[in-house]
A = this chain, B = another copy of it.
């Protein structure tokens, strides 16, 4: 037997709309009636239907997290804190991945009756922000800003981290450096590359274009690109990597090529994922508060939903160089 609000109404001796209002904690219902309705609902094991509630309030309390690619290890570290923060705020998380066809994904987000979206894809040419704005669905940028459409955003400033990392690399004696950067159509790769180049210029280090690759943020892709660079005649003694996952790939490439890390090759990542600190990996990297950024993105979208006229907010997270085993002085000769 399915228990309906009609059954609850009959047992509590109130009307059906009063049941809905009482369970929504509506101020128009007296505390005594709310108590009676709740007791009746509990006795009967009544669960209000989400679909019915959504139609009456216009809210589903569901928030989408739009990702490029669920397999990426980076995302597994943001899903948990976003999920927990939203749960604390009384919202549910729905994961969505962006396919090549951006128009379709926005229609799907709308069809799922989401209250808002956290955009964690960083592809600069994505039309998702524009379409979301057109359709009036609130969203926030995660780990990026938008060039065309303004919205609340959380971003990382990579400059301080790269400044300190490059200074340290130069002190250690690195002069020939290479880079396995992220895909050039992402805002993260663009901002990190700009910060890296500024820091290299400041220290008078030249980045040879033959030692630069741009790859998707994956371990296999990082490994393939690093292998190419390391196969060159006059190979670099240090590889800057677009993120930690790419750096794990570079470490694998060095291992396969029989190069010792850090004696023959130093490697620097970006993100400071938990695995980077493991003794068996011990990756020098550039860190920031990933979990804090995830929580902030959740807070921002809920604030935007509940107060559509709030002033735009852009929360900036500082980066910092994290020295570890994989960045050391190059082996003489």
Binding site for B on A (CB under 8 A): 45, 47-52, 54-55, 60, 70-71, 73, 75-76, 79-80, 83-84, 92-95, 97, 107, 110-113, 135, 219, 248, 251-252, 255-256, 274-275, 278-281
| B93 contacts A95, C-beta separation under 8 Å | yes
Q: How far is the CB of A217 from chain B (nearest CB, A)?
A: 15
| A48 contacts B111, C-beta separation under 8 Å | yes
| A47 contacts B255, C-beta separation under 8 Å | no
| B70 contacts A73, C-beta separation under 8 Å | no
* Chain A interface helix/strand/loop/mixed: helix
Q: How far is the CB of A117 from chain B (nearest CB, A)?
A: 14
Q: How far is the CB of A85 from chain B (nearest CB, A)?
A: 12
Q: In the assembled complex, which residues on chain B have CB atoms less than 8 Å from the CB atom of A281?
A: 280
In whole angstroms, what is the CA distance A73 to B71 when docked? 11
Q: In the assembled complex, which residues on chain B have CB atoms less than 8 Å from the CB atom of A54?
A: 50-51
Q: In the assembled complex, which residues on chain B have CB atoms less than 8 Å from the CB atom of A83?
A: 70, 95, 97
| B79 contacts A95, C-beta separation under 8 Å | yes
In whole angstroms, what is the CA distance A167 to B34 when docked? 66
Q: Can you give 10 contacting A-B residue pairs, CB < 8 Å?
A: A47-B111, A49-B113, A50-B54, A50-B60, A51-B113, A70-B76, A79-B95, A92-B94, A92-B112, A248-B275
In whole angstroms, what is the CA distance A107 to B52 when docked? 16
Q: In the assembled complex, which residues on chain B have CB atoms less than 8 Å from the CB atom of A94?
A: 92-94
In whole angstroms, what is the CA distance A48 to B108 when docked? 10
For A49, the closest partner residue in chain B by CB is B113
| A52 contacts B50, C-beta separation under 8 Å | no
Q: In the assembled complex, which residues on chain B have CB atoms less than 8 Å from the CB atom of A49?
A: 55, 111, 113
Q: How far is the CB of A74 from chain B (nearest CB, A)?
A: 10
Q: In the assembled complex, which residues on chain B have CB atoms less than 8 Å from the CB atom of A79?
A: 70, 76, 79, 95
Q: How far is the CB of A210 from chain B (nearest CB, A)?
A: 25
Q: A51-B55, A92-B112, A95-B95 are in contact. List 8 more A-B contacts (CB 8 A).
A: A70-B79, A70-B83, A70-B84, A76-B76, A79-B95, A93-B95, A248-B280, A280-B280
In whole angstroms, what is the CA distance A73 to B76 when docked? 8
